[in-house]
Amino acid sequence: MTDHNAAPVSLGDAAEVLRSRLDARTAGFLNACVRCGLCADTCHVHLADGEAASTPAAKVERLARLFRRQHTLLGRLAPRLVGAEAVTEESLRALADAAFGRCTMCGRCALNCSVGLDPAALMRFARAILTAARLVPPGIAANAAAALATGNSMAIPPEEVRETIAWLEEDLRATVQDPSAAMPIDRPGSRVLYAINPRELKFFPLSLSAAALVFHVAGESWTLTSTDFDITNYAYFAGDAAGARAIAGKLLRRAEELGVEELVVAECGHGFRTLRWEAADWLGRALPFPVRSFVEVVADYLAQGRLRLDPSKNPAPVTLHDPCNLVRNGGVIEEPRTVLRRAVADFVEMTPNRADAYCCGGGGGLLAASEHTARRLAAGRIKAEQIRATGARVVVSPCHNCLDQLLELNRHYDLGVEVRTIAETVADALVLPGAATA
């Protein structure tokens, strides 16, 4: 994966991926599209820019044209009749514009496809072709390369992880006024390995502190790891299956080394999706432990009475942004609501919500693709309008990618809201042992 514009495009490698890596599912989707175009206004990118090239059907068609030329009889004999195109630099750059510049792989169009195909899966395959062609945005490629080389996408060394956790642990002890409170790290035999997004260590330590407080109050046996802790997977965004397998494999091996009974994934949509739903298939074996989102775990703690929350501690109106990879593509739909209804005094839904929610515009790795920043912010207009319509003063989202985008949308569209994680919201509502409920 190298430079988006400067490096030579590898036509042969791209054609080889198109020829040999297509599976029956993907080929079936490409054969099934009838270009009805009814998906158009289900896509936040098209709704925001109004361009014909931004409809899901148009994005699928960019890939389907290459497919038809390579894999269908009429595509070879009468390419103009069926709109087939050869793999050329021009056709690949058009595909890159569609798959990286106009699609966050949020999957909303899949739920609305009249035929029943999955355009997001097709865009992932398109990205695999573009990885082979060396047309991946350099920011996405760099993050994936860092994760492969160092065990996390921000190349944070283990010593820095331990130092950061040490000062967060001091904060935890002060908060709960218990000198024995701990943020265990690299502790074998813990029940839970809590795997995190490296951005939490660098930029969002409060979300990590909040999760630690929740685990502490719930009496969980848990640990962090100073190595291979990264739940993010930029190779997945690049459509690089081998890289995605390697990145997920590092964390899963670390969990096995520590002998944990469960892997709990911090608030990260694609991190959850890759580890919960994709990793076993990449590795070709069932995982030896369940993988759950932190949000699911908190919902369980509440159900088991292991946490007491006082919603009056979060009095401002709160709305929830559903991360596409956690909700629509991950199935964690009601748990965030269960938690927020217990944690805040005034919870208001966006419309539409749950699996039908609009993408914030920051999915698909676009936050790392600076060449698409303007489009990303423009595509976020739909989400900004949804947020404004709720009248909420706080937007909660259990995904750090979404949080970054929402923070930018907050500034760009002058929303005047606070953006936070579920962990932070729950931590603020926690009734600590020994304290009285308000």
Partner 1 sequence: MTATSALLLCALVVAIAAFLLDRLRGRFAPSRASLAPPKGSARAGVLYAFTRAFAPTAKESASRHLPTYAAGIAYHLAIFAMLATLLASLGGAAIPRAVAGSEAVLFAVGTACGLGLLVKRRLSPNLAAISVPDDVLANALVDVALATGLVACLVPGALPAFQVAGAALLLYAPLGKLRHMWYLLASRSRLGATLGRRGVRPAARPIGSGHD
| Residues of span 269-298 touching partner 1 by CB under 8 A | 276-281, 284-287, 290
Distance of alpha carbon 99 from alpha carbon 43, whole angstroms: 13
Question: Interface mask (CB under 8 A) for partner 1, residues 302-341, using x and -?
Answer: -------------------------xxxxx-xx-------
Q: How many residues bind partner 1 (CB under 8 A)?
A: 71
Site for partner 1 in 113-152 (CB under 8 A): 113-118
Least Å distance, CB 196 to partner 1, is 21
Least Å distance, CB 174 to partner 1, is 37
Among 9, 14, 22, 302, binds partner 1 (CB under 8 A): 22
Among 10, 26, 164, 225, binds partner 1 (CB under 8 A): 26
The residues near 135 (Cβ < 8 Å, ≥ 6 apart) are 4, 9, 92, 93, 95, 96
Least Å distance, CB 65 to partner 1, is 8
CB-CB contact of 429 with 313 (8 Å) = yes
Site for partner 1 in 367-386 (CB under 8 A): none
Tokens of 165: 């956790």
Tokens 């040490």 map to which residue?
166
Least Å distance, CB 373 to partner 1, is 25
Among 12, 34, 259, 303, binds partner 1 (CB under 8 A): 34
Distance of alpha carbon 73 from alpha carbon 217, whole angstroms: 64
- Complex with partner 1: residue 27 or 435, whichever CB lies closer: 27
The residues near 396 (Cβ < 8 Å, ≥ 6 apart) are 318, 319, 320, 321, 336, 340, 419, 420, 421, 422, 425
Residue 242 binds to partner 1 (criterion: CB under 8 A): no
Distance of alpha carbon 371 from alpha carbon 6, whole angstroms: 13
Residue 15 binds to partner 1 (criterion: CB under 8 A): no
Residue 48 binds to partner 1 (criterion: CB under 8 A): no
Distance of alpha carbon 91 from alpha carbon 68, whole angstroms: 13
Residues in the chain: 438
Stretch of residues binding partner 1 (CB under 8 A), selected from 40-48, 148-156, 201-209, 401-409: 40-48
Least Å distance, CB 111 to partner 1, is 7
Stretch of residues binding partner 1 (CB under 8 A), selected from 134-142, 170-178, 239-247, 347-355: 347-355
- Complex with partner 1: residue 67 or 204, whichever CB lies closer: 67
Distance of alpha carbon 57 from alpha carbon 61, whole angstroms: 6
Stretch of residues binding partner 1 (CB under 8 A), selected from 25-33, 131-139, 363-371, 412-420: 25-33
Residue 159 binds to partner 1 (criterion: CB under 8 A): no
* Continuous H helices in 279-418: 279-283, 294-303, 335-343, 373-379, 381-390, 400-412
- Complex with partner 1: residue 17 or 377, whichever CB lies closer: 17
Among 3, 8, 12, 31, binds partner 1 (CB under 8 A): 31
Least Å distance, CB 45 to partner 1, is 13
Among 261, 353, 378, 431, binds partner 1 (CB under 8 A): 353
DSSP codes, 296-311:
HHHHHHHHTT---B-G
DSSP codes, 347-362:
EE--SS-GGGPPP-S-
Distance of alpha carbon 105 from alpha carbon 364, whole angstroms: 5
CA distance readout (Å), 16 to 20, 79, 128, 132: 6, 20, 11, 9
